[in-house]
Amino acid sequence: MKLRGSPCGPLAGAFPVPGDKSLSHRALIFGALATGETVIAGLLESEDVLATAEALRAFGVRVERFGPGRWRVIGGQWRSPEAPVDCGNSGTAVRLLMGAAAGQGVRATFTGDSSLSKRPMRRVTGPLEAMGVRIEGGDRLPLTVAGPVTRGLAHLNVPASAQVKSAVLLAGLGTDQPVEIAEPVPSRDHTEIMLAEFGVEVERDGTVTRLGAKRTLEARLVEVSGDPSSAAFVLGAAAIVPGSEVSVKDVLLNPHRSGFVMALQRMGADLAMANIRGRGGETIGDVRVRFGPLFGAEFTAEEIPSMVDEIPILAVVAAGAQGETRIEGLDELRHKESDRLALMAEGLAACGVDARADGDALVVRGGAIRGGAAVRTEGDHRIAMSHLVLGLAAEQPIVVDEAEMIGTSFPTFRDAMRRLGAKIDEVEE
Ligand SMILES: O=C(O)C1=C[C@@H](OP(=O)(O)O)[C@@H](O)[C@H](O)C1
Ligand SMILES: C=C(OP(=O)(O)O)C(=O)O
């Protein structure tokens, strides 16, 4: 399905964004490792998260939906699935499940779609192998992981990856040996926070995270807050469509996830945060953005992990700003659902924006956005949503070639945007 984002009037409204994808995967997996019945409210029911739910069933775990966003997971000992476990498009699903399965001492073969099958996995299987886990396969799926974990590990998490850190911590639940991870640049810490909520002893000492003696989980209630990576499309659109004013409610504001909000502020956006509070060990709140003048800015490699999935929409915001924006340290973007660095430079340029990749940096010079182009997404949800938002602020509509994949992270994107006044519609073929 092709979608078109067209120039439109001001966006206005307030709404709660759907549940956070990172928290949703973790709530299901941790519930599956816990003793007792975990109840989850606000789970993101996107394809990536549903892939995790289905995978857990293959491991013999009872996972049930009992209402919109309301799920029940009955944890216990996992069994080795006979058939390969298909993780679809989701890097988080496959990498966290490899670690968790190893820690449970089971054997499983993991597969994924064509995009996931191109993504590097050695970054996870390497550390798991060092923990005594048997691995069959190379750097790409399909791969077989066979527990048990027989050794502890001290791991240096470079490049900063929360998926690798999580896989090591989850595998570490299966041993009483020391397990620690050092991070020169911190990646998102939802695993550390949620494991502690589930009763695991997690010691955090500056840049080092260590598992303590208690490595068992007890079931609990998990309330999933709004996804800042989805909110970024809404806020980014409000920042560049003249006259807009939009608020997102109950969104996760963990400092390792709020890089995009900080970036908007640095670019001069009219932005306010309110109602900041704690929930389930995380910080959440509401964010309001009003259209106003934006200015180009520089972002360094150290800032990237706090907005790694938001770089495509940040590049779109940069297209609507005055002057040059330079975003450094984007090598990891080449290893996501697509080569996001190359596709953003290509898509923006096709829409008449002065944008280019410069080594592992993205350089965007803002100004009038011509649009009037069809853009290639290579099935990457964030590339699709970013260009649809760009179309709202362009002179001519922008068409994206494949929009189904938006369902992997933000299935209600089109409805949510349309309710705010955005013009996003299907292109008849
Ligand atoms: O742990 C997570 O939930 C995620 C970590 C990030 O990946 P890396 O760990 O590869 O940086 C991010 O890009 C992904 O969307 C979700
Ligand atoms: C990179 C992403 O997800 P994952 O790694 O889980 O596929 C994303 O959602 O942008």
Q: Which domains does the chain have, with CATH numbers?
A: 2-19+225-427 (3.65.10.10), 21-223 (3.65.10.10)
Ligand number with the minimum distance to the CA of 91: 2
User: Which residue do the tokens 């498009």 mark?
Assistant: 89
Does ligand 2 come within 6 angstroms of the Cβ of 382? Answer: yes
Within 10 A of 203 (CB to CB), how many other CB atoms are there?
13
Give 427's contacts (C-beta < 8 A, 6+ positions apart).
2, 3, 4, 399
Q: Residue 59: pLDDT above 90?
A: yes
In the numeric block, which tokens belong to residue 37?
Answer: 């019945």
Ramachandran angles phi, psi of 299, nearest 5°: -125, 135
Give 177's contacts (C-beta < 8 A, 6+ positions apart).
151, 152
Does ligand 1 come within 6 angstroms of the Cβ of 309? Answer: yes
In the numeric block, which tokens belong to residue 128?
Answer: 């798991």
Instruction: Please answer whether residues 27 and 92 qualify as being in contact, where contact means their C-beta atoms are separated by less than 8 angstroms.
Output: no
Q: Given 3-state DSSP classes, what are the helix, strand and coil percentages for the chain, each rounded to the nearest 5? A: 35, 30, 35
Q: Whose CA is nearest to atom 12 of ligand 1?
A: 309
pLDDT at 429: 78
pLDDT band of residue 428 (cuts 50, 70, 90) is confident
Strand order in the sheet with 202-205: 153-156, 179-182, 208-211, 202-205
Ligand 2 centre distance from Cα of residue 90 (Å): 6
Distance, in Å, from the CA atom of 213 to the CA atom of 243, rounded to the nearest integer, reads 55
Reduced to 3 states (helix: H, G, I; strand: E, B; else coil), residue 272 is strand
The active-site residue out of 20, 113, 227, 309 is: 309
Give 275's contacts (C-beta < 8 A, 6+ positions apart).
249, 285, 286
Give 161's contacts (C-beta < 8 A, 6+ positions apart).
123, 187, 332
Closest to 89 in 3D by CA, of 36, 25, 136, 41? 25
Instruction: Please answer whether residues 40 and 68 qualify as being in contact, where contact means their C-beta atoms are separated by less than 8 angstroms.
Output: no
Average pLDDT of span 94-106: 99
Residue 160 Cα: closest atom of ligand 1: 11
Assess whether 309 carries a catalytic annotation: yes
Q: How much is the mean pLDDT over the chain?
A: 98
Reported as a single tens digit per residue, the pLDDT across 128-145 is 999 999 999 999 999 999
Q: Residue 239: pLDDT above 90?
A: yes
Confirm whether pTM is higher than 0.90: yes
pLDDT at 13: 98
Reported as a single tens digit per residue, the pLDDT across 102-125 is 999 999 999 999 999 999 999 999
Q: Is 247 annotated among the ligand-binding residues?
A: no
Residues of the chain with pLDDT > 70, as a percent, come to 100
pLDDT band of residue 77 (cuts 50, 70, 90) is very high
Closest to 50 in 3D by CA, of 71, 67, 36? 71
Reported as a single tens digit per residue, the pLDDT across 270-325 is 999 999 999 999 999 999 999 999 999 999 999 999 999 999 999 999 999 999 99
Q: Residue 15: pLDDT above 90?
A: no
Instruction: Please answer whether residues 49 and 25 qualify as being in contact, where contact means their C-beta atoms are separated by less than 8 angstroms.
Output: yes
